Amino acid sequence: MALVNIDQVHKYYGDLHVLKGVDLKINAGEVVSIIGRSGSGKSTLLRCMNGLEAYQEGAIIVDNKEVSSDEKQVRLLARSVGMVFQSFNLFPHLTVGENIMLAPKLVLKLSSKEARELALDKLTKVGLAEKIDEYPDCLSGGQQQRVAIARALAMSPKVLLCDEITSALDPELVGEVLRVLEQLAADGMTLILVTHEMNFARDVGDRVVFMHQGKVWESGPAKAVFAQPSTPELQSFISAVL
Ligand code: ADP
Ligand code: MG
C-alpha cells in the first residue's frame, strides 16, 4: 500500500464544493509538487491530509491510518504528518530551541535534555545549530522557515507537507529554504509541496500534480508534465507561470 492514499475525497465549505473527488497515491520517498491556480483547492487538500480540516466524503489514509479531524486522531496524526506553512508560525516568545522542543516534550514525553539534543540535531540538519538560543525575531525569514522545518522534523514525520513555504520570503532568501528541501529529498523524505517554484518542481520533484477546479486534473513525472502538458488547462497555466 502507498504511504498516502487519497480516495475520492470531497470537501465542502458550506455550499462551496471545494474538493470534487480527489484521488492521489504517494509512495514513501516520493517528492510530489502540487501546482495550480489560486483557489483550486491545494491548501485545502493539504489541510485535509493533516486533519486540520474535515472532509465529507471519501478517505485519506496515511501510513495505514485513516485521517479524521477527530481530536485524538489529530494528535496521533501529528506524529506521522508534519506540516510547514507559508507564515512560519513560530512562537515569538519562545527561543528557536524551545519552539522545536515543545511538541517532543508534550507529545513524545521527552525530557528537556533529550528534547534539546533532538532540537540541536534537527537544527544541524537545516544549518542553524548556532541559533538554538536566539528568538525568532532575530532571524531572517529564510532562517525562520528553516527553523519551522526543523520543528516539523523533530516529530519524525513519515511525510512532510509544505504549503507555499517560500512565498512570503524575499527572493534572495528562497534558495536557502529550497536547498534544505532538496537535502531532505536526497535523504529519502516523503515530501508533498504546494509550490510556485516551477523550476524546483521540475528539477527536484519526482512527480507533479496539477489541481484545477478541485480535482487532480493532470499528474505525471515532473519533467514530462512540464515538457508535454496534455490538457489545455495545464498548458495555459504553465505558459502563464514559466
Ligand atoms: P489554493 O490553495 O489552491 O489557492 P484553497 O484550498 O485555499 O485554494 O481554496 C479553495 C477554495 O476554498 C477557494 O474558493 C477558497 O475561497 C475556499 N476556501 C478556502 N478556505 C476556506 C474557508 N476556511 N472557508 C470557506 N471557504 C474557504
Ligand atoms: Mg493555498
103 in a domain, yes or no?
yes
All 3 cell numbers of residue 221? 513525472
Average model confidence (pLDDT) across the chain: 94
Residue 135, in any domain of the structure = yes
- What is the mean predicted confidence (pLDDT) over 133-151? 97
Report which of residues 69 and 105 the model is more confident about.
105
Q: Return d(Cα 33, Cα 62) in angstroms, integer.
A: 18
Q: Is residue 4 included in any domain, yes or no?
A: no
The answer, yes or no, to whether residue 75 has pLDDT greater than 80, is no
Q: What is the mean pLDDT of residues 64-85?
A: 78
Query: What's the pTM?
Result: 0.95
Residue 72 clears pLDDT 70, i.e. is over it: no
Ramachandran bin of 29, using left for φ above 0, alpha for ψ from -120 to 50, beta for the remaining angles: left
Query: Which atom of ligand 1 is found nearest the CA of 47?
Result: 6
In a domain, 177, yes or no: no
> How far apart, in whole angstroms, are the C-alpha atoms of residue 11 and residue 14?
9
Tell me if 150 is assigned to some domain. yes
The CA-based diameter of the chain, rounded to the nearest angstrom, is 56
Task: Please list every protein residue whose CB sits less than 6 Å from any atom of ligand 1.
Answer: 13, 16, 18, 36, 38-44
Q: What is the pLDDT of residue 224?
A: 94
- Domain annotation covers residue 128: yes
Q: What is the pLDDT of residue 56?
A: 94
In total, how many domains does the chain have?
1
Tens of pLDDT, residues 184-224:
999 999 999 999 999 999 999 999 999 999 999 999 999 99
Residue-range definition of the domain harbouring residue 104: 94-156
| Protein residues placing their CB within 5 Å of the ion ligand 2 | 42-43
Residue 108 CA to ligand 2 center (angstroms) comes to 30
Nearest CA to ligand 1 atom 21: 13
Cβ pair 162, 195 in contact under 8 A: yes
220 contacts 208 by C-beta, under 8 angstroms = yes
Pick from 13, 43, 49, 167 the residue to mutate for probing ligand 1's pocket: most ligand atoms within 8 Å of its CB.
13
Residue nearest to atom 12 of ligand 1 (CA): 18
In a domain, 38, yes or no: no
Q: State how far the Cα of 88 lies from the Cα of 150, in Å rounded to an integer.
A: 11
Percentage above 90 pLDDT, the chain: 89
- Mutation probe of ligand 1 site: the residue of 16, 50, 87, 237 with most atoms within 8 A of C-beta: 16
* Residue 18 located in a structural domain: no
Report the pLDDT value the prediction gives residue 77, as an integer from 0 to 100.
67
Instruction: Output the residue whose Cα is nearest ligand 1's atom 7.
Output: 43
Q: What is the pLDDT of residues 89-102, one digit of tens each?
A: 999 999 999 999 99
